[in-house]
Amino acid sequence: MAIPLADQLKMYKNMLLIRRFEEGVAEAYADGLIGGFTHLYIGQEAVAGGAIASLNHDDYAIGTYRVHAHALCRGTSPRRLMAELYGRTDGICKGKGGSMHFFDNEHYFMGGYGIVGGHLPIAAGLGLGIHMRSEDRVVMAFLGDGASNQGVFHESMNFAKLWDLPIIFVVENNFYGIATDVRVSSAFNEIHRKAQGYGMPGHVVNGMDVIAVREACDEVVSYVRQGSGPVLLEARCYRYQGHSMTDPARYRSQAEADLWRKRDPIPRLAKQLLAQDVEQERLDGFQTEVNEIVADSMQFAEASPRPGPEALYEDLYAENYGG
């Protein structure tokens, strides 16, 4: 089924927002306003942009340490995300998590996690919770190609299928685990076919095409929502930047990077939208709008106070005891 134009426009705007947000992050990082590990999503916008659009508001999404985009697509306020990156009290996690640990209960974004694959058993647990509570919900768990070689990936796939839990594993295959090419790290690098080992459907989609991602996800989400059990979807994509802000990505050739940049998901969708009689002015208007949103989020973040010393011991436990 064709994706309605309104949805296409929304995904276009989301991709623009992700890219501009990440550019703003890179600027702030260069200015020393953001510290720690910061992993940018530029180039991969079509994956989160298309996949999360298939979810209902109360479905769960969970991701890795490269999750700025996923939180934005779930609807988390860019101001609160930027304030988190700046380590301020208005941050979505009060400045205690940073780039790798966005989390937003209100939008059912169940976190970014810094240990490769470590969130996958938690994703399975979210599915188990839905199952135990007989709820009409699904879990969308994002992971990278590197995570598919971790032990807990396999444990989680096994549990998910064994108990037919409502989970969509979205593998964002950007072909590199930091610097290591998937072909030298995975004995079997057709990652979607790893699902077969667990009797689970596995599909592959062009992760540089947001419409293709959205269509594939609409299909698998509806399959999972019907109670048919989990699915793995591999989205092949590319990060334009290095693994993190400190990685110059010398392990990739310029020719390879240029090739992928030609497949950029944003102009690709722009072209399709123009062909559907959307005016260029409207697309330009979106760009202006997201530029303002990001500029505003950076001003907001900078104005937000740093956590006071009393915050150090807050939030550790729900129940506190003396001594």
Partner 1 sequence: MAEMRYYQAVTQAIQEEMARDEDVFIFGEDVGLVGGTFRATEGLMAEFGARRVRDTPIAEAAIVGLAIGSALTGMRPIAELMTMNFGIVAMDQIINHASKMRYMFGGQINLPLVIRAPGGGWTQKAAQHSHAIESWFMNTPGIRVVIPSTPYDVKGLLKTAIRSDDPVLFIEHEILYNTKGEVPEEEYLLPFGVADIKRPGRDVTIIAWSKMLHEALKAADILAAEGIEAEVVDPRTLDPLDYNTIVSSVARTRRCVVAEEGWRNVGVGAELAARLQEDLFYDLDAPILRVASADVPTPYAANLEKQALPNAQKIVDQILKITL
- In this chain, which stretch among 64-72, 153-161, 231-239, 251-259 interacts with partner 1, using CB under 8 A? 153-161
Q: Any alpha helices (H) in the chain, and if so which ranges?
A: 5-30, 45-51, 68-74, 78-85, 120-132, 151-162, 182-185, 210-225, 254-261, 265-275, 280-303
Does 155 contact partner 1 by CB under 8 A? yes
DSSP H/E element including 141: strand 139-144
Residue of 257, 272, 304 lying closest to 87 (CA atoms): 304
Rounded Cα distance between 230 and 123, Å, is 11
Does 6 contact partner 1 by CB under 8 A? no
Q: How far is the CB of 70 from partner 1 (least distance, A)?
A: 15
Single-letter amino acid code for the residue at 90:
D
Site for partner 1 in 71-130 (CB under 8 A): 91-97, 101, 103-105, 110-111, 113-115, 118-130
Give the tokens for residue 88: 């301020």
Closer to partner 1 by CB, 110 or 220: give it.
110
Does 314 contact partner 1 by CB under 8 A? yes
- In this chain, which stretch among 34-42, 211-219, 273-281, 313-321 interacts with partner 1, using CB under 8 A? 313-321
Closer to partner 1 by CB, 292 or 314: give it.
314
Residue of 65, 64, 74, 57 lying closest to 18 (CA atoms): 74
Q: Could you give the string, one character per residue 31-60, with x where binding to partner 1 holds by CB under 8 A and - elsewhere?
A: -----------------------------x
- In this chain, which stretch among 148-156, 173-181, 183-191, 245-253 interacts with partner 1, using CB under 8 A? 148-156
Closer to partner 1 by CB, 95 or 242: give it.
95
State the DSSP code for 91.
Answer: S
Closer to partner 1 by CB, 131 or 203: give it.
131
Rounded Cα distance between 271 and 267, Å, is 6
Rounded Cα distance between 205 and 191, Å, is 12
Let me know: does 142 contact 65? Beta carbons within 8 Å. no
Q: How far is the CB of 93 from partner 1 (least distance, A)?
A: 3
Chain residues binding partner 1 by CB under 8 A are: 60, 91-97, 101, 103-105, 110-111, 113-115, 118-130, 132-133, 135, 151-152, 155-156, 158-159, 162, 314-319, 321-323
